[in-house]
Structure 1
Amino acid sequence: MFSTALRYRLERELGLAVTHCSSMAAVRAIFQGDAPEFVLAVLDLNLPDAPNCEALDYVISKGIAPLVFTGSFSDATRDHILAKNVLDYVVKDNPAAIQQLVLAVDRILTSGKTQVLVVDSDPESLQRQVSLIAKQRFQIIAVESGAAALDALDSHGGIDMVVCDLALSDMNGFDLLGEIRQRHGDDAVRVVGLSTSEDRMVAARFLRAGGDEYIQKPFLVEEFNSRIFHVAAIQKRVQSLHRIAARDYLTDIYNRRYFFEAGPRLVDQALRRGEPMSIAILDIDHFKRLNDTYGHEVGDIVLKAISRRLKHRVGDRHLLARLGGEEFGIIFNGLPLEEALDYCERLRQELAAQPINADGEPLTITVSAGLAAISGRETFDNYLNAADQFLYMAKHAGRNRVFSELSLMSALAS
């Protein structure tokens, strides 16, 4: 009964290809030929022809990660299977067992997409946490100080969670938490605190300061895994909602709101690292006239086409967003003004050279751009206003061109 219901739910709810074996002989038969590549084994410890965990040992020998689902369980069994590095276990002791197993499978298969930064100044403690988290297939970065953690967050994009001991060699966990929240905001990364303190107020202070979870040492493996998985699941849901909220409904690139949320953080990181950065505003030339002549439907086609081309050209290295109407913003990571100017010129030329097919009619679309360097600590609006002023000059000079401080200096020199 369990196997039929479980297979149905794994296939229908998670979209998995499931192979069912009712005996140890059936398991061995699969591997006698060209066996498919299995990413996970869900197994009972007691099969009719393998009552003593033989199936567990066998799938481990084949390099398959095991998840135990069994009705025969005791403290001794728990210690035995945990020593064999199983991913997790679910006991068939209640009506919700199948639901718990489906959730466990989903957690395990999605954990490989989660990056965890582990911070602990005690090498032995650090290694233990890394070992536990690695078993759950998370991607791991391990460091031994708060300063190294902050550097890792700046240099490694996409860290989802920080697991840190509160007693670090160079700062306490509260200071690290404060720096993370100041630099990266409240939702960009989840922070889990660990401590040997028996003072319950430590946990309360950490959570009130913006921490997402607190685990007291020493901890049970199951407690540690469950709390880490829970925080990771929350982060993935939050990220999914943020992705929806950050996209422009028409063009599917980032929207104005995200540009103004992420932009200041990117600028702050670049200034701390001493890296160059530039900001540009692009505007489609004569867009109002295009709308009046061809209608808003064609205007939407043009906006989508320009957005696709910009997204393809800009990629993930730089931040591209639709600021509103026919206006786009780009933050160039790691590009000084001169290189960013060359980049914008190439963008402008490529866009003008590729007519857009709108209801069977090719339309040549040009853009104007204003570009400014980000070289000192100012408000984000100031950088944007500088680029906007150069955009105005580009429009005033005849459109279909890029203006920056370098362009202005060149014009004055001539």
Structure 2
Amino acid sequence: MHSILLVEDASFFEKAVMMTLKNIEETDVCVARSYKEAEGLLSSGKVRPSLALVDLTLPDARDGEIVDLVKSHDIPTIVFTSRYAANIRRSVYGKGIMDYIVKDSPSSLDYLGELIQQLRSNPETGVLVIDDSKPARESIIRALRMHRYQTFEAASAVEGQKILEENPQIKLLLLDYVMPGEDGFAFLKALRRKYGRDDLAILGLSGIDDDENRIRFLKYGAN
């Protein structure tokens, strides 16, 4: 059972979110209407949500403290709020949230429902990151794991090819196409002889800003 902690003090938005979530199979929703309520639920150990959906402004925590609370329990978190400002958005993203959704139209509820559905299926999907830079790989892997993907990493095309062959659940490849001693374009062409676009999506990465390389990579079969 997929369990969600909804922290929302406005009854209108609570009902709207509950209506959105009720159509998602095998989803159990626990509601807290204040910081204190959420803190009590999490501290009791009776609630172990796999996802938190939180408003930033609560009666007893008006400055986004709820994000710190749920993240301290290592819960993947989506912010769903009527407050939008670039500095607020940057601040909460810096705390490692999954997404920041503004309550400004019915489409935001549709987006929320689609996002949660996607998060349910992501664990079945493998993503491989091939990059010779370890810090770059680690940064990308952190973001992918936050969205619950299975993650794999390689420092070279040769290593990546072996991982691909051993893990058929990999459906997305993030490939640095400019690596020392390797030709990312030749590797891409070789991959496309074996994997069609429907079998393996390939996105190119590079620290070099070069339009010609981007065009070549797309022509050789990248998505």
Tell me which residue corresponds to 1:78. 89
Task: Check if 1:198 corresponds to 2:209.
Answer: yes
2:221 to 195, 210, 226: 210
**Aligned position for 1:153:** 164
Superposition pairs of residues 269-284 of structure 1, within 5 angstroms: none
The 3 A distance-change label for structure 1 pair 31 and 133 is closer
Q: Does 1:177 align with 2:188?
A: yes
Aligned equivalent of 1:95 = 106
Q: CA 1:95 to 1:185, structure 2 compared with 1: closer, same or farther past 3 Å?
A: closer
Q: Work out whether 1:33 is the aligned partner of 2:13.
A: no
Distance 2:16 2:105 in 1: 14
In structure 2, what is the equivalent of residue 162 of structure 1?
Answer: 173
Q: Alpha-carbon deviations, 1:167-212, whole Å to 9, x = none?
A: 1224222212111111233422111111234333433332232111
Distance, in Å, in 2 between the alignment partners of 1:178 and 1:2 is 50
1:303-342 aligned at under 5 Å gives the runs none
Kindly state the Cα deviation for residue 79 of structure 1 after the two structures are TM-superposed: 1.9
Q: Which has the higher contact order (CA 8 A, sep 6+)?
A: 2
Cα distance between partner residues in 1 of 2:44 and 2:207: 51
Query: What count of residue pairs does the alignment treat as equivalent?
Result: 212
Name stretches of at least 5 consecutive residues in structure 2 with no aligned partner: 1-11
SS at match of 2:172: strand
CA RMSD of aligned residues (A): 1.8
Residues in 2 aligned to 1:153 and 1:15: alpha-carbon distance in whole angstroms: 32
Q: Supply the distance in 1 between the matched residues of 2:183 and 2:77 (Cα, whole angstroms).
A: 37
**What displacement does 1:28 show?**
2.5
Distance in 2, matches of 1:157 and 1:100, equals 29
Q: Percent identity?
A: 26
1:112 counterpart SS class: helix
Report if the CA contact (8 A) 2:42-2:48 is conserved. Answer: no
Equivalent in 17, 41, 52 of residue 6 of structure 1: 17
Per-residue CA deviation, residues 331-352 of structure 1 (Å, 9 max, x unaligned), is xxxxxxxxxxxxxxxxxxxxxx
**Aligned pair 1:63/2:78, yes or no?**
no
- Greater gyration radius: 1
The answer to whether the 8 A contact 2:36-2:60 is kept is yes
Deviation readout 1:16-69 (Å, 9 max, x if unpaired) = 111122212221332353413210000011111110112111111222111111
TM-score by length of 2: 0.87
SS in 2 for 1:99: helix
Change (3 A) 1:199 1:32: closer
Gaps of 5+ in 1: 213-414
1:364 alignment counterpart: none
Bigger helix fraction: 1
Deviations 1:113-146 (A, max 9, x none): 2111100012222222222222222111111111
- Structure 1 CA distance, aligned partners of 2:48 and 2:135? 35
TM-score (norm 1): 0.48
Q: Does structure 2 retain, via aligned residues, the 8 Å contact 1:90–1:97?
A: yes
